[in-house]
Structure 1
């Protein structure tokens, strides 16, 4: 088993927020495990794969994963570096109230039954990524009161489940596996300035076919997906860097102005403004 640390950040009658960090030593499937309660898991660093029956889900910072209570799954780490995720467990009645019925399995969210999601994951938008980072940074630095943290958590859940603010991948199994392979390539070297031809060669298809299938499955272009992964990593690292130019260069941006402009376009504020709002500096 991989070395796993769990840091409780908030525990109230409404929500429980925990920070999971895994070293990623287990490259192949782990032994089966089950979630004790239905949880929403937001990866913010690295990557892992969740195996649920015959269905695999690549978990990275553009996704929220749904871990249903008592549902058996395995985890693997095909890319080195481990992973970290923010896990949210919401009061059962509130989660049922927050979740659109089309996201639930038949029989879920009714008397006597735990809320159970139909799918393993949804793609989240940049605003949800910001909420994940704000919640984690603020709780770790004790810069937020419980009431505000609870409200922020429920806002994040609502956004992660919204039809206009998230996306469920819809594709054949073959197309989904192709897109997942492309995600593993990107995650293997997040700062590398990949070319389309290089990624296509890694996954064994033509550049045209790759761009078409990726757009169909994820509803965003491949280049924008990679950009969001880099920016999500920046959200994670902003508390560790005094020199934001160095951070941008370390993540593969060509200059500080490029990094700052991309960050502002995605999140509505500059990296320095985010540091101040999250009490990182």
Structure 2
């Protein structure tokens, strides 16, 4: 439930991510009334992904069961009531996009025509891939092993997967899109240690975060954050022959959150730890 009443002590809210493009909150409700509670009202529009437990949301006479198979839409300035007909707590990942991003990502038929855009329906079923994305995002953000750029890219993937594509065409990249992707690649290479956000990259390039991620994926065939990760790991490979290399310092210099984060990414990419790879380069 994205916007609890101020007096509520049944809801725990923790911020997972805040950038110029997206905000993510982990919401844990510790139990509530089996019948509809008092009316609440969201200040902004949210996409809420339940991942544990269940509750029922009432908007007027309409109701939606909020469980891990659905994304639930909380519209700005729209009153609702929450009921907990099943005993136990529930938890959700709550995602807020800027109005411009929401209108760019959501099919036009899904949105109302109000100044603060919202959804025409209460909820929509999601698939298992979207459920896996929710889990990956939650764990990665909670444990600090996911940087903002990666999280933003995965969040946009999650929204696109949950809402469906704006159209069914998949055009080939144009010459202009290739040029844009090349500018992004040069920007990322200019500072491998920087923890970019989509808004940062978009501001430097002069493109919206959604357009940027879609074009880069189309041109390169992989997400922007993964491209950056491969650049960092390639630099690590280049430095592995140094006799006095400090792997913890290298991880920090390349922008990884910790030595373990660097090791996990390296192992996933190359099938061995940085230490093992380094030992191999120094044999003989």
Taking structure 1 as the reference length, the TM-score comes to: 0.55
Q: Relative to structure 1, is the Cα distance of residues 61 and 154 closer, same or farther in structure 2, using a 3 angstrom cutoff? A: same
Q: Which of the residues 21, 28, 33 maps onto 1:21? A: 28
Q: Relative to structure 1, is the Cα distance of residues 163 and 15 closer, same or farther in structure 2, using a 3 angstrom cutoff? A: closer
For 1:1-281, list aligned pairs within 5 A. Answer: 3-105=10-112, 107-108=113-114, 113-162=115-164
Deviation of the 1:57 alpha carbon: 0.5
Deviation of the 1:82 alpha carbon: 1.7
Are the counterparts in 2 of residues 48 and 82 from structure 1 also a CA contact under 8 Å? no
Deviation of the 1:102 alpha carbon: 1.2
Structure with the greater alpha carbon radius of gyration: 2
Q: Aligned-pair RMSD on alpha carbons?
A: 1.7
Are the counterparts in 2 of residues 19 and 87 from structure 1 also a CA contact under 8 Å? yes
What is the rounded CA distance, in whole Å, between the counterparts of 1:17 and 1:116 in structure 2?
Answer: 18
Runs of 4+ deviating beyond 4 Å: none
Deviation of the 1:37 alpha carbon: 0.6
What residue in structure 2 maps to residue 184 of structure 1?
A: none
What is the rounded CA distance, in whole Å, between the counterparts of 1:25 and 1:161 in structure 2?
Answer: 29
What is the rounded CA distance, in whole Å, between the counterparts of 2:123 and 2:98 in structure 1?
Answer: 20
What is the rounded CA distance, in whole Å, between the counterparts of 1:132 and 1:72 in structure 2?
Answer: 26
Deviation of the 1:2 alpha carbon: 6.3
Are the counterparts in 2 of residues 2 and 25 from structure 1 also a CA contact under 8 Å? no
Deviation of the 1:75 alpha carbon: 0.3
Q: Deviations over 1:204-228 (max 9, x none)?
A: xxxxxxxxxxxxxxxxxxxxxxxxx
Any idea what SS the aligned residue of 1:156 has? Answer: helix
Are the counterparts in 2 of residues 42 and 85 from structure 1 also a CA contact under 8 Å? yes
Taking structure 2 as the reference length, the TM-score comes to: 0.55
Figure out how many residues of one structure are paired with residues of the other and give that number: 161
What is the rounded CA distance, in whole Å, between the counterparts of 1:2 and 1:53 in structure 2?
Answer: 25
Deviation of the 1:25 alpha carbon: 2.6
Structure 1: any 5+ residue segments left out of the alignment?
165-275
Structure 2: any 5+ residue segments left out of the alignment?
1-7, 167-266, 269-284
What is the rounded CA distance, in whole Å, between the counterparts of 2:32 and 2:39 in structure 1?
Answer: 16
